[in-house]
Structure 1
Amino acid sequence: MDMDHVETLECTLCGAEYDPDQVIYTCPEHPGVKGILEVKYDYERVLDRFDEPLDGRIGSQWKYRAFLPVADDVEPVTLGEGGTPLLDAPRLGDELGVDLRVKDDGRNPTGVLKDRATGVSTTKAREFGIDVVTCASTGNAAASLAGFAARGGFDCRLFVPGDAPEGKLAQPLVYGADVLGVRGSYDEAYDLSMEVTEEFGWYNRNAAVNPFQVEGKRTVGHELAEQTRGEVPDWLVFSMGDGCTIAGGWKGFREFADLDLVEEAPRMLGVQAEGASAIHDAFHEHDDVDEVADTVADSISVGRPRNTVKACSALEESDGESLLVSDEEILAAESLLGRTEGIYAEPAAATPVAGLRKAREAGIVEAGESVAVVVTGTGLKDTQSAMRAGGEVAAVDPDVREVIERYGEGS
């Protein structure tokens, strides 16, 4: 197993180092899941391995395989994830007073950015010779893992909270996974998934604790860096739940800047729902952190984020900022994004748009600054919320006069 470009797994709390050629999730020096591990690379070897042109043509995230912590001799488990477009968004940008582009990661194979991470974690399961994969999820990670498990020939066992949207559970069921609805919250489902991982030795995809998992999310940062070469945005906006996505996106973009593959890196703006604000509270050093999550944006409805340290580091290192938005602002942003740019986002994926609007009002983002917003999942994941955001169907009789009455003659 040749993985000499990966140096070590380093604990984010105490700096202890572990062999990357083993299955390990967190630093055992810290109870629970606090000792999150960070993959450290030998970047000279990474650059020696990376010979792809940065010409904006990205077929999939495996263009950046040289940066990913997988062995040279393993065949990736892939559905063609990554390579999503960065779209100019002039109408929405005019409304918000910024030069705006939107990275639409809802176009990934199962409809979510998490596919980037799942491609890496299922490839690692294959590398380690483990044939059962598992995770806890509010829906998106479950669907993603189930799809890639089917692709790679794994058994897949999933733990979801009882209030996960039905639309999100249809996907993993069609993919043939065992879906276990836990009578409790996401955090309780998460704790159960970690217990069964220890009990049965299944390979756990949980993004916050699987050190290789978040590394796949770096590719959204790599792609954004390549797609914005020569015109790096002032701000890069992500929603935050467990903290993995903003941490991964920042790490990928920062790597390209540090290696002089692009000229600079943007400031990060992290956006959370008011009902799930733990990372924002930690970043702003609030004392009254509420561990109960309650928001329409189920994909970021996390009361006890496991990757708070990495997320806050991304905000701090980039001279960034975080803020909170209400469920009403999230649903309004979902509708705004759809009607101005034709991009259909689930609530968590529209949260960055709501955050950008609020950041403009607060003067955090100034008029005319350039911004890239990352849409992390398609609106097809949660059609019930979409109906709340979009309004109701107008009923008419099959009579042209009713249409004329509504729109006028010759409209």
Structure 2
Amino acid sequence: MTLDHVETLECTRCGATFDPERVVYTCPNHEGVAGILEVVYDYDVVDDRFDAALDGDIPNQWKYRAFLPVDTDAEPVTLDEGGTDLLDAPRLGDELGVDLRVKNDGLNPTGCFKDRATSIAATKARFGGQDVVTCASTGNAAASLAGYAARAGLDCRIFVPAAAPEGKLVQPRVYGADVLAVDGSYDEAYDLSLEVTDAYGWYNRNAAINPFQIEGKRTVGHELAEQTSDEIPDWVVFSMGDGCTIAGCWKGLREFAELGYVDDTPKLLGVQPEGASAIHDAFHGAEDHETVAETLADAVAVGRPRNTVKACRALAGSGGTAVTVTDEAILDAETLLGRTEGIYAEPSGAAPVAGIQAARAQGIIDPDESVVAVVTGFGLKDTQGAKQAVGDVTEVAPSLDDVAALYGTGDDGAAGGDGGSDGSSLTGRGA
């Protein structure tokens, strides 16, 4: 057994170090979960072991196994997560006034970006002899952990706020997990998951404290670096909740640049809802940057982000910044993304599109700059959110007359009457 490419776990606040072979979540020198840990690598070993061709062929995230903090003897718990396509998005780009590509990570096995991290958690838990895995979640991490726990043969017990979308709570139950709905907020569910971890010794997947989870998420940075090596974008845009995802992406992007695999790194734009803006507020200097999260984008509805420090360092290190957007703008972005590019994202996954609009309006992103928007979750995760944006279906009788009343009766079949050719004028016309 060997984990010799991982040197240590280092506290982001005081620099204390810990054995990476032990199950350590946070630095005990700080109250609560303030002492977030960073995985430190021996990049000479990593570089020596990484011999994959950077040719854009990425079957899954395990192409980058040399960078992942798992024992060389560990068998990966995988459902072929990662390796998502980078799609040109010319119609949406024209709407936003940028040269746009979309990385659609909603196509991961359980429908969300979090599978990248969960694969690492399940691999380490099984290899370390753990029997039970747990986490707190607004829905996506719950489904992801449940699916990978089933794959690994582990018991899974999840804590969610009672207000989490029902669709997201069905999925983990199908995977066989125990889903415990906490009568409170996500932050209260999170705190309970930590108490349970201490009491029972279950392996905690929470990306905000488990230092190895960001390491799985950073594979999106590796993939983007490889996929854009010939045309590095000016900006990469993420929604932010706990701060883990954007911090992980930056670490992956930076690693590939520092190792000489690519020539440069893009700037990062972090996007948060106005009702859950703690990282944005901290980045822009607010002293009191914690709040009660109030947003329909449940996947990023985090009032007390645990990885604010890492997220802000990523934004600053990349030369980027953060913006906030309204829930209304997020819903508009969800439908804009769908009708221009055929990509169905949940609200948090569409938030980057709203963020690009805001950044363009504020002069942060210049006209015709190149941008990659990362969609982090599939739209079927939250159909209720989308329904607010599109309204009800249009009801018609089983009669051609009703259709003609909408579209006209031209011989060429073109739309006429009071209906537009894209059907957009029908929104909200249901009974």
Measured against the shorter chain, the TM-score band is over 0.9
Matched, 1:156 2:180: no
5 Å matches for 1:43-58? 43-58=43-58
Write out per-residue CA displacement over residues 12-51 of structure 1, whole angstroms, 9 at most, x where no aligned residue: 0000111100000000100100000000011111011101
What CA distance in whole angstroms lies between the structure 1 residues aligned with 2:377 and 2:310?
A: 22
CA RMSD of aligned residues (A): 0.7
- Structure 1 residue 400, shift from structure 2 partner: 0.9
SS at match of 1:40: strand
Partner-residue secondary structure (3-state), 1:8: strand
Tell me the equivalent position of 2:69: 69
Q: Which residue of 2 aligns with 1:85?
A: 85
Query: Paired residues, what number?
Result: 411
Q: How much has 1:288 moved relative to structure 2? A: 4.0
Instruction: Show the counterpart of 1:134.
Output: 134
Structure 1 or 2, whichever has the larger Rg, is 2
TM-score, length-scaled by structure 2:
0.95
User: Which position in structure 2 is the counterpart of 1:4?
Assistant: 4
Which string of whole-angstrom CA distances, capped at 9 and with x for unpartnered residues, describes residues 217-262 of structure 1?
A: 0001101111101101000000000000000011111111111111
Shift of 1:292: 0.5
Partner of 1:391: 391
| Paired letter, 2:8 | T
Counterparts in 2 of 1:6-405, with a 5 A limit?
A: 6-405=6-405
Query: Aligned letter for 1:379?
Result: G
Name the aligned partner's letter for residue 75 of structure 1.
Answer: E
Measure the CA separation in 1 of the matches of 2:41 and 2:2: 14
In the alignment, the residues of structure 2 paired with residue 287 and residue 210 of structure 1 have an alpha-carbon distance, to the nearest angstrom, of 26
Structure 1 CA distance, aligned partners of 2:390 and 2:60?
32
Structure 1 range deviating more: 283-292 or 366-375: 283-292
Q: Assess if the C-alpha contact under 8 Å between 2:279 and 2:289 holds in 1.
A: no
| SS in structure 1 of the partner of residue 106 of structure 2 | helix
Runs of 4+ that moved beyond 2 A: 287-290
After TM superposition, the score normalised by the length of structure 1 is 0.99
Give the superposition deviation at 1:405: 2.0
Contact 2:271–2:325 (8 Å) recurs in 1: yes
- 2:419 corresponds to which residue? none
Partners of 1:254 and 1:116 lie apart in 2 by: 18
Residues 100-159 of structure 1 deviation map (CA, whole Å, 9 limit, x = unaligned): 000000000000000000000111101211110000000000000000000000000000
Does the CA-based 8 Å contact 1:337-1:350 persist in structure 2?
yes
Deviations 1:274-328 (A, max 9, x none): 0001001100011343420000000000000000000000000001010100000
Could you tell me how far apart the structure 2 residues matched to 1:276 and 1:284 are?
A: 14
| Partner Cα distance (1:322, 1:261) in 2 | 27
Unaligned runs of 5+ in 2: 415-431
Letter in 2 for 1:204: N
3-state secondary structure, aligned to 1:103: strand
- AA aligned to 1:37 is L
- 2:218 partner SS: helix
Structure 1 unmatched ranges of 5 or more: none
Q: 1:267 deviation in Å?
A: 0.2
Percent identical residues = 70
Higher mean displacement: 74-83 or 387-396: 387-396
